[in-house]
């Protein structure tokens, strides 16, 4: 089949591909890996995933590098995080080797959808696990379906790498203290939709949530982690309510390589006044630089960019991480999995 994709104008959204990879857990064990061309699943109407939120997912990317090779970024870390999420909501953990094998198979079978080097686009990989067992009483499933779907996505920054403005709203919480915040489950994202919608209506790109207990400290930034540069240091919130971002983990390593001190700690809202840069970080954008943070309740405006441009540290980190993913610089930490 001939395929003409305008890689340069590909949106960050779903684009159908040829295959997805599936595996079911039944009778106490994971079954054979199956290749599917269907974009639908057949599920019992009383499945635990539909009624009691037994659903979790991951997000990672594959890139075609400067040398033409295909690289999957931090595959094993995503596998480990999915295991932690599964343990958190009593789902069956997917073994690391099974996770890796299925991801690589999905990338290989859909190789024609991997955007060319230099396009700014990539192949987004979405692992998904759902509970299948029918339950009316509140109880975990004993049967699960694990799927790897992929889709090519365009560059996150359609207008180029530039600042956006975000806001703080105290009348919304993303998660509860000691809740599901540290696991990548769909319910966390459903809980953020209302606040996100309100923020977008007000002209902001995202909500910077405060800690759900005291409303004193910075938490997550919508669907991403948050970091700032203060007194030359890379500071990022530390909390049991925050999803441990693999991108943030990578940026902290790169920051240390650049001689930048890293602090993962409670960050009081008022500290934003002394920060010179800030960004949301995650798989989709790497670093989404923030120009201004408006505290809706107090009316305080924190200006993070004096000239309207992304800060120098954020720009350097963004470029450094992208260069590793694209094979432009040596992968000294072994973060990439080369797909042969």
CATH number of 164-325: 3.20.10.10
pLDDT of residue 306: 86
64-98 pLDDT, tens digit each:
999 999 999 999 999 999 999 999 999 999 999 99
> Per DSSP, which regions of the chain are E strands?
20-26, 29-30, 34-36, 55-57, 60-64, 70-73, 122-131, 144-153, 164-168, 208-210, 218-221, 225-230, 233-237, 262-265, 275-282, 286-295, 301-303, 336-339
Residue ranges per structural domain of the chain: 7-153, 164-325
Is CATH 3.30.470.10 correct for 7-153? yes
Hey, is 231 helix, strand or coil?
coil
> Residues in the chain with pLDDT < 70?
1-2
| pLDDT given at position 158 | 72
Q: What are the backbone angles phi and psi of residue 48, rounded to the nearest 5°?
A: -60, -25
Domains 7-153 and 164-325 share a fold: no
């Amino acid at each position: 089949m001939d395929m003409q994709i305008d890689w340069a104008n590909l949106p960050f959204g779903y684009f159908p591909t040829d295959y997805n990879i599936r595996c079911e857990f039944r009778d106490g064990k994971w079954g054979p890996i199956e290749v599917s061309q269907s974009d639908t699943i057949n599920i019992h109407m009383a499945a635990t995933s539909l009624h009691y939120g037994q659903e979790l997912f991951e997000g990672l990317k594959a890139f075609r590098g400067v040398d033409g090779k295909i690289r999957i970024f931090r595959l094993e870390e995503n596998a480990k995080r999915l295991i932690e999420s599964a343990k958190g909501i009593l789902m069956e953990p997917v073994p690391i080797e099974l996770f890796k094998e299925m991801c690589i198979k999905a990338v290989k079978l859909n190789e024609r959808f991997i955007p060319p080097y230099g396009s700014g686009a990539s192949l987004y990989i979405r692992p998904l696990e759902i509970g299948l067992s029918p339950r009316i009483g509140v109880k975990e499933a004993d049967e699960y379906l694990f799927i790897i779907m992929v889709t090519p996505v365009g560059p996150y920054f359609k207008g180029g790498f530039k600042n956006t403005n975000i806001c703080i709203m105290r009348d919304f919480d993303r998660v509860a203290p000691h809740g599901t915040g540290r696991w990548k489950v769909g319910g966390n994202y459903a809980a953020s939709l209302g606040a996100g919608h309100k923020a977008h209506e007000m002209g902001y790109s995202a909500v910077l949530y405060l800690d759900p207990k005291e409303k004193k400290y910075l938490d997550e930034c919508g669907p991403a982690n948050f970091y700032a540069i203060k007194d030359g240091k890379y500071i990022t919130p530390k909390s049991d309510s925050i999803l441990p971002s693999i991108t943030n983990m990578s940026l902290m390593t790169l920051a240390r390589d650049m001689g930048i001190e890293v602090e993962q700690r409670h960050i009081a809202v008022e500290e934003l006044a002394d920060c010179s840069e800030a960004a949301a970080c995650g798989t989709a954008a790497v670093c989404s630089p923030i120009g201004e943070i408006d505290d809706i309740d107090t009316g305080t405006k924190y200006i993070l960019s004096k000239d309207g441009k992304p800060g120098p540290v954020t720009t350097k980190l963004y470029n450094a991480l992208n260069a590793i993913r694209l094979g432009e610089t040596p992968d000294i930490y072994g973060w990439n999995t080369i797909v042969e």
